[in-house]
Structure 1
Amino acid sequence: MTAGARVLDAGGLVLAPGFIDMHAHSDLAVLTDPEHLAKTTQGVTTEVLGQDGLSYAPADEATLDVLREQLAGWNGIPDIDWSWRSVGEYLDRVDQGAAVNVCYLVPQGTVRMLAVGTGNRPCSELELQRMRQLVDQGMREGAFGMSSGLTYVPGMYADTDELVALCEVVAAHGGFYAPHQRSYGRGALEAYAEVVEVARRSGAALHLTHATMNFAVNAGRGADLLALVDAALADGIDVTLDTYPYLPGSTTLSAVLPSWASAGGPVATLQRLEDPVQLAGIRHAVEVTGSDGCHGVIAEWETLEISGVRHDELTALVGRTIAQIAVDTGQPPFNVFVGILRRDRLGTTILQHVGHEENVRAVMAHPQHCGGSDGLLVGAKPHPRAWGTFPRYLGHYVREEGVLSLEECVAHLTSRPARRLGLTDRGVIKVGAAADLVLFDPSTVAAGATFAEPRRPAVGIPHVFVAGAPVITDGARTDALPGRALRK
């Protein structure tokens, strides 16, 4: 035994590769929060960032100004040195020391913001070539693929041909496309079919992010999604998908707005909310026809629960739905909705209670499935998936419900995502592999986080190692910062 080595008594524990979070929103947390307890305590050793088409690299100063405001509800606006501009420079910042490893996706919406702006219009040929160059540069600097947020401005303004052109660049580098597609509600299957077609035409591998079928229109339709995936696989398309093991979703309240109302960025959006004519159009889209920002579904005010606010004077709204606030204040729900957006300057986050248990179970059992938290780390009451996804899979869906065997579930959280990322030295335990490891108790492992207390650490995960360094020992965080940016 090496001098100074420590021997752990792992009796009764399972040794597994460190968990890989295929859909994380820790883009700023890995730079600002050295403990990063949300992920370290649940055994996550690698996170995939740059999700949903919106992150902070590549960027210029003007774009960063817009992104800081637009993504305040996702990541806050910490007081840090924002001096990076390229994907490579952002990854260099991660290399200065982080709790976990990081993989990055080039965010298509950010790329479009840089080359085209935030307006709702087709790109020119010159702008398309600029976007292709930006994606190419990001891939050369270490990105693993490209993400899209096709219900978020400005990525949603790209048509299928534009997405194909960008994914051709991704394919040339052996990367994958990770879209948040245009709908998870009405038109969800059509939206999935579009991104499958993008993969088919471009030759890029496809990873369906937070893949599920939500809202009342899709109850019991998880099998329809899986039939589409299986057909694509049979046709030779390389498809994988990730989900979180919860029913509610989480996003910003402003995401419910129609896309035209969000064109031009946050300042333009707030101006529209003050214009009576445009406000009438927003109301018609949200309450009558179904907003594309709300996945083509008419806003169901009882499903939209405030989970975080940017301004402290609105803290009392946290934990209440738009419908409840409307009853308590005697206002129409739409007026409550607009009033919060104005007062919080679009920085409000919500839980969206639109999921279905049968769909969640069906998708997680698919052999191409991986685990992803999609967890926002800011706000008074964020979704508990940020702290509880991986132990919930192992405790609730393995031990208590038997949806997956323990061995199969561990593969979903480790080797399968590693294979999608092309990480041959992660997601496995073998000589020569990186020592990203987790020890957990299969009889007690569980999510400590709840909707009432979303920041409680996991139960039954006493030891976590990143690159051989202990980051969790006997359930407590050490001061180790062994995480680094992994480059494709």
Structure 2
Amino acid sequence: MLDTVIHNGHIVDGTGNPWFFGSIGMKDGIITHVGSVNIESKETIDAKGQIVAPGFIDGHTHSDLLVLSDPQIDIKLQQGVTTEVVGNCGLAPAPFVKKHGTLLKEYVAPIIGDTLCDWSWETVEEYISELDKANISENVSTYVAHGAVRIAVMGFENREPTRNEMDEMKFILEEGMKAGAIGLSIGLLYSPGRYATKEELAELCSVLPKYDGILSTHIRGEGNNLIPSIKEVIWIAEKSGISLHVSHLKAAGKRNWGGVMEALNIIEDARARGMDITCDVYPYDAGSTSLTTLLPPWSLEGGIPACLERIRNASLRNKIKEEVGEEQEIWDNLVVSTGWDNVVISSIMKNTQFEGMSILEISQNTGKDPIDTALDLLLEEDGNISIVYYHMSSNDVEQVIKWDYSLVISDSLGCQIGKPHPRTFGTFPRLFAKYVRENRTLTLEQAVRKVTSFPVQRFKLGKRGLLVPGYKGDITIFNYRTISDVATYEQPMQYPEGISYVFVNGVKTIEHKRNLRTSHGEMIRAERLLCNCHSLHV
């Protein structure tokens, strides 16, 4: 007897091949039959008129703490997502060294959420063990995050590492890879990641080939410096002999719109000479990050407390204001390219009356200059402010979505107060509603592949992402005619329509928007063969 049989579905199996009518049988968390199933089961689901697909993979999120604070959280499950990949953009809660613990928590808080709870881990391996014990409802995999590693060893110092410090960072990365991390993530837009040279990063990445690990990167500049930033990370990957994945590829700022096509051409040229490079994209024309990201890199040396002290210092504050007000050559000034009218407060702890308002609107209400408004808010909020900023072209987004080597992700932040970016609640239904059903940018089968088998293959997540016997029973059933995102920028915390059932490892977890509060998710360790190379000397 099987546990579950799903009958009469339009099966989109994740390969990219055309859908077909059929049934699926599962037992003990594994798909046992696909096609014709005439075996008795404990539960039968009639999927007539609906799409049966592998569970969606959100390959780029910042839910590192959410999955621990609320293991049965259903924000992603309600979208059909069964697996999240965390530790992105160099931002993660591990490694956590008490000497620099406050620096790390203040660094990651606007992106991965509430850091006030006690952290019981120190190493990446111990963080992974916490996920193992957490009785999670969805599957989770993680990178080793470069920013957290550099803070653990060097704090927020803007300099090259010593030989001993580099060896220590290599040791931490190798420990994380041995524990099952899928690779290294770097965030070159964020301090202290932006303090690392390409040579430093190439040496650190020399750890990855032994573990067949991938380098995922938030590049140094996504606006005026998009092209040199793409070339920089390609150089790092080529120098290290590793696979490269470019996070949330975009061209920020109106003057740069269209630049994604040149970036894609550069990546395709690199692929043509044998490099393994892919990217991801979220299906929105607005991004989300921390307000401090808009400041000059030097102002963040030493971490958030040091930054706030500089803002309090009259002469240094004037220097910050001067640089933020002008175009810069060595770093992307997102204020100039985006405009204060397009920088909107999404999450803020004290001045909640400003949620959903742009910095320009707030400045007009308070009678202050916009930059003074932003700096004063950072002081009042101890630097912990999340923003949504409107800086992309919808045509650019569509070009990246339909590119053969892109996968679709949410890049959702872990901060769930105020008005978070609607991508947190609507990314995957939006993909099918807007880019498949309405715009016909992708076929149904292409879209399913981009959020199932492709990310599984890319991140080495094992036997999931396909509807074939022997694979994990991660399954999403949805109505193609009604699936849609409901979340908006004004009212983001709304679940989508059209998702009928979600199974995680063979267990029904979502049933017509009802969270069944199961605990059958898994901490996924990357499945790899160790390369035949000498052990690292650390």
Shorter-chain TM band: over 0.9
Cα distance change of structure 1 residues 413 and 299 upon mapping to structure 2, 3 Å threshold: closer
Residue 195, structure 1, aligned to residue 233, structure 2? yes
1:223 to 251, 261, 274: 261
Give, in angstroms, the shift of residue 69 of structure 1: 1.9
- Where 2:79 maps in the other structure, the secondary structure is coil
2:186 is the counterpart of 1:137: no
Cα distance in 1 between the residues matched to 2:257 and 2:278: 22
Q: For residues 17 and 158 of structure 1, what CA distance do their matches in structure 2 show?
A: 39
Distance 1:298 1:367 in 2: 29
Query: Which residue, out of 298, 301, 305, partners 1:263?
Result: 301
What is the match of residue 123 of structure 2?
86
Aligned to 2:532: none
User: What are the within-5 Å matches in structure 2 for residues 358-397 of structure 1?
Assistant: 358-377=395-414, 378-397=416-435
Q: Of the candidates 135, 149, 162, which is equivalent to residue 111 of structure 1?
A: 149
RMSD: 1.5
Of residues 324, 337, 347, the one that matches 1:308 is: 347
C-alpha displacement at 1:71, in angstroms? 2.0
Structure 1 counterpart of 2:316, from 271, 278, 301: 278
Counterpart position of 1:244: 282
Deviation of 1:64 (Å):
2.8
- Say which is worse superposed, 298-307 or 406-415, in terms of deviation: 298-307
TM-score by length of 1: 0.97
Shift of 1:433: 0.4
1:459-474 to 2 correspondences below 5 Å: 459-474=497-512
Letter in 2 for 1:15: V
Checking the alignment, whether the CA contact within 8 Å between 2:308 and 2:382 is kept in structure 1 is yes
Measured against aligned partners, the alpha-carbon deviations of 1:446-478 in whole angstroms (never above 9, x if no partner) come to: 112111211111110110111111110122100
Matched, 1:179 2:214: no
Residues 331-364 of structure 1, C-alpha deviation per residue, up to 9 Å, x if partnerless?
1111101111111111111101101011001001
- Choose from 222, 238, 253 the match for 2:291: 253
Moved more, 218-227 or 157-166: 218-227
**Aligned partners of 1:94, 1:392: CA distance in 2, in Å?**
29
Given candidates 356, 365, 368, the residue that maps to 1:331 is 368
Of the candidates 342, 358, 368, which is equivalent to residue 321 of structure 1? 358
Check the 8 A contact 2:402/2:441 in 1, yes or no.
yes
Report how far residue 65 of structure 1 moved.
2.1
For residue 14 of structure 1, report the CA deviation from its aligned partner. Answer: 0.7
What is the CA distance between 1:78 and its match in structure 2?
5.0
Listed as ranges, the gaps of 5+ residues in structure 1 are none
Structure 2 unaligned blocks of 5 or more: 4-40, 527-538
C-alpha separation between the residues in 2 aligned to 1:176 and 1:170? 7
Q: CA deviation at 1:90?
A: 0.9
In the alignment, which residue of structure 1 is the partner of 2:454? 416
Do the aligned partners of 1:185 and 1:296 also contact (CA within 8 Å) in 2?
A: no
User: Aligned residue for 1:405?
Assistant: 443
Range that drifts further, 284-293 or 322-331: 284-293
Q: Give 1:454's aligned residue.
A: 492
Report the AA paired with residue 166 of structure 1. Answer: L
Is 1:2 the counterpart of 2:6? The answer is: no
- 3-state DSSP of counterpart to 2:430: helix
Paired letter, 2:275: I
Matched, 1:32 2:82: no
Q: Could you tell me which residue of structure 2 aligns to residue 348 of structure 1? A: 385
**Which whole-Å deviations, capped at 9, do the CAs of 1:205-235 have from their partners, x for residues lacking one?**
0011111111112112221111011111101
Secondary structure, counterpart of 2:472 in structure 1: coil
Q: CA deviation at 1:406?
A: 0.4
SS at match of 1:139: helix
Aligned residue among 73, 79, 87 for 1:50: 87
**Which of the pair is proportionally richer in strand?**
2
* 1:55 partner amino acid: A
Asked if the contact 1:144/1:176 (under 8 Å) is kept, the reply is yes
Question: Could you report, residue by residue, the CA deviation over 1:66-85 in whole angstroms, capped at 9, with x for unpaired residues?
Answer: 22222222233255441111
Distance 1:486 1:100 in 2: 10
Q: CA deviation at 1:296?
A: 8.7
**8 Å contact 2:255–2:337 — kept in the other structure?**
no
1:24 and 1:49 in contact (8 A); partners too: yes
Matched, 1:16 2:53: yes
Question: Are 2:474 and 2:505, in contact at CA under 8 Å, matched by a contact in 1?
Answer: yes
TM-score for both structures, normalised by structure 2 = 0.88
Aligned to 2:57, what secondary structure does the other structure show? strand
> Matched residue of 2:441: which SS?
coil
Q: Displacement of 1:307 after TM fit?
A: 0.6
Partner secondary structure for residue 312 of structure 2: coil
| CA offset digits 1:394-427 (Å, max 9, x no partner) | 1111001100000000001111101101234011
